[in-house]
Amino acid sequence: ALVSARGLEWEARTPLSVKPGAKGLRQSEALFQHVRNFPALIQNMPDKLAITAVAASVRPRPQEGSYMPVFVAGSSFGETLAATLRVPFFQTTHQEGHLEAAFQSARPPGMDPLGSTPGDSPGGVQNGTLGGSLGGSLGN
């Protein structure tokens, strides 16, 4: 997706393929599909863009030890694109992306798109764990 101070400028998606009856993808297959799909997305970007920075989710959550191999694809492509364009690269997380998407869709027209909520992290959001579970998952 490409965003500016005006909001969303362009977006494209390529859904990952999950075999019928499967409950998801192994990390290695998800990583492979991201690597395979990314060049076509870049080739379909509009011409003459004034890209001033690149951001990508580099891990699932903003927490020490949060890691899934599939995030290496976004991190690697994001850093490569930023270096090629000679612009800054900003790391974010999948969880923070969901939070920002909710903020963007709930923001009233005319409100500052760069945020106005005080906080410690860029964008003014403080993220933390409010609860947890001591038990295992249900359904096993």
Residue 56, strand partner residues: 91
The tally of CA atoms less than 13 A away on the side-chain side of residue 68 is 18
* Residue 132 belongs to a domain: no
pLDDT 10s digits, 42-54: 999 998 888 999 9
Token couple for 37 = 């799909």
pLDDT 10s digits, 63-99: 999 999 999 999 999 999 999 999 999 999 999 989 8
CA distance 71 to 97: 13
* Residue 64 belongs to a domain: yes
* Residue 5 belongs to a domain: no
Per DSSP, the three-state class of 26 is: coil
Contacts of 62 (CB under 8 A, 6+ apart): 93, 95, 96, 121, 127
Domain count for the chain? 1
The residue segments making up the domain with residue 37 are: 27-106
Q: Global pTM? A: 0.75
* Residue 126 belongs to a domain: no
